[in-house]
Chain A
Amino acid sequence: MKLSKRSDEFVKNVRMYLFTSGKNEQEIVEVTGELEDHLAEPESRGKSVESITAGSPAEYMESLEKEMTNDYAAWLKYVPFIGLFIVAYSVMGSAINGAFEVNIIQLIGVPVVAIVSLIIYWALFRNMAKKEWTGKKSFFASFFAVTSVMLLFFVVALSSMFFIEPLYVASPKMNIVIAIICALIFVLGAIWLKQWIAIVIPILLFGPQIAFSFTSFNDEWKIIVSWIISMVLIYVMFAVHLLILKKKESKFAQRS
């Protein structure tokens, strides 16, 4: 039996909330399965999510959270991958420009910014799930989160480029090797996550930079203009992504 859209959303939000709480994966599977099974039954008799939560999904999610086992170790397995992804994102740009170098601002700034970004995304997904935000609200919150994370990385990249002496400067050949390794990480990541967005974002982010590297603007202008173009492209992509989701939803609504 298929769940209604509202029930399906609720179960997804419970899953996301418990995941961001660092709960044991097996327990999450069991309890969300139980909720699905429950919702599949009374719905045929005209009851719904309300009958489970008595009107407060957020409180209900908390009551589940309280009784479940923590399993932070499960999160740790994502850490190396997320770390690789972040390094690839922050390194790709300079490698494309033939300017990969290591300096102290990067060595400190990138890990700090990475941790701050993870906290921003964690808070985003947790609130999205717990407060059951609508499409519009989720979109604006994601927009805000993505923008602030990109700005943080941009600030690190820019300041490390202009204000400090590098500890290591890559040769032209090494720059190409680094860019190829980064591209490989993006491709593997997209396959692992099964998300086309994971490969589209790096293309939009670094495509303009590659294009600008063939022009004769000065370096500052290359970076600033290509960054602005990237931002615009990424926002357009999010809008398109949202439109596609909406279309899918309305098709789904027509069928059921």
Chain B
Amino acid sequence: MASSSQMLKGVLEGCLLAVISKGETYGYEMIERLGTFGLTMVSEGSIYPVLLRMQKEGFVSTAMRPSPNGPKRKYYWLTPEGRAELEGFKARWKELSTGVDLLLEREGEHHEAIKEK
């Protein structure tokens, strides 16, 4: 669990872009949505520094609006730059995951070959 959380950290920005692309959302809702895909984090707060960075890079626009919780809530949506970045992330992820899958499969074949010998 802790180690998968570590791996998620590296691709968190891409995952957040994907979550936000589904429509306007706020911090805690993003964590819940990631959770429904089995993507959980040890430190849920780690999304906020990433969101700050994404805002600075111009991938998201934000607005503060009243929430049922009392304090104002910060809502996010993707900018055209954010959409382009998401497409870029998808392409990079496909490349990486295909590579890792292939490597792991080959590794499996290799082990089986050794066992047969």
Name A's B-contacting residues (CB within 8 A): 1, 27, 30-31, 33-38, 40-42, 51-54, 60, 63-64, 66-69
Contact A66 B49 (CB under 8 A): yes
Select the residue from A33, A34, A42, A63 with max chain B CB neighbours within 10 A.
A34
CA distance A68 to B56 in the complex (A): 8
Contact A67 B52 (CB under 8 A): yes
Pick out which of these stretches binds chain A: B62-70, B92-100, B106-114. Answer: B62-70
Contact A54 B74 (CB under 8 A): no
Chain B interface size range? 20 to 34
CA distance A33 to B69 in the complex (A): 11
Contact B44 A52 (CB under 8 A): yes
Instruction: Please tell me which one of the listed residues A36, A42, A53, A69 contacts residue B71 in the complex, with CB atoms under 8 A apart.
Output: A36
CA distance A42 to B50 in the complex (A): 20
Name B's A-contacting residues (CB within 8 A): 26-28, 31, 42-46, 48-53, 56, 62, 64, 67, 69-74
Contact A64 B52 (CB under 8 A): yes
Give chain A residues whose Cβ lies under 8 Å from the Cβ of B31.
38
Residue of B nearest to A38 (CB): B28
Contact B45 A52 (CB under 8 A): yes
Contact B52 A37 (CB under 8 A): no
Give chain A residues whose Cβ lies under 8 Å from the Cβ of B74.
30, 33-34, 37
Instruction: Please tell me which one of the listed residues A37, A52, A63, A69 contacts residue B67 in the complex, with CB atoms under 8 A apart.
Output: A37
Give chain A residues whose Cβ lies under 8 Å from the Cβ of B51.
34
Give chain B residues whose Cβ lies under 8 Å from the Cβ of A34.
26-27, 48, 51, 73-74
Instruction: Please tell me which one of the listed residues A36, A37, A60 contacts residue B43 in the complex, with CB atoms under 8 A apart.
Output: A60
Give chain A residues whose Cβ lies under 8 Å from the Cβ of B45.
35, 38, 51-54, 60
Which 4 pairs of residues, A with B, have the shortest CB-CB distance?
Answer: A52-B45, A54-B43, A67-B52, A40-B69
Instruction: Please tell me which one of the listed residues A37, A42, A53 contacts residue B26 in the complex, with CB atoms under 8 A apart.
Output: A37
Instruction: Please tell me which one of the listed residues A33, A60, A69 contacts residue B56 in the complex, with CB atoms under 8 A apart.
Output: A69
Contact B43 A64 (CB under 8 A): no
Instruction: Please tell me which one of the listed residues B53, B62, B69 contacts residue A37 in the complex, with CB atoms under 8 A apart.
Output: B69
Contact A31 B26 (CB under 8 A): no
CA distance A35 to B73 in the complex (A): 10
CA distance A19 to B28 in the complex (A): 24
Give chain A residues whose Cβ lies under 8 Å from the Cβ of B48.
31, 34-35, 38, 64
9 A-B pairs in the complex with CB atoms less than 8 angstroms apart: A1-B70, A30-B64, A33-B73, A34-B48, A36-B71, A37-B74, A41-B28, A60-B43, A69-B56
Contact B71 A37 (CB under 8 A): yes
Knowing A30-B64, A30-B74, say if A38 contacts B52 (CB, 8 Å): no
Knowing A38-B28, A38-B44, A41-B28, say if A31 contacts B52 (CB, 8 Å): yes
Residue of A nearest to B67 (CB): A37
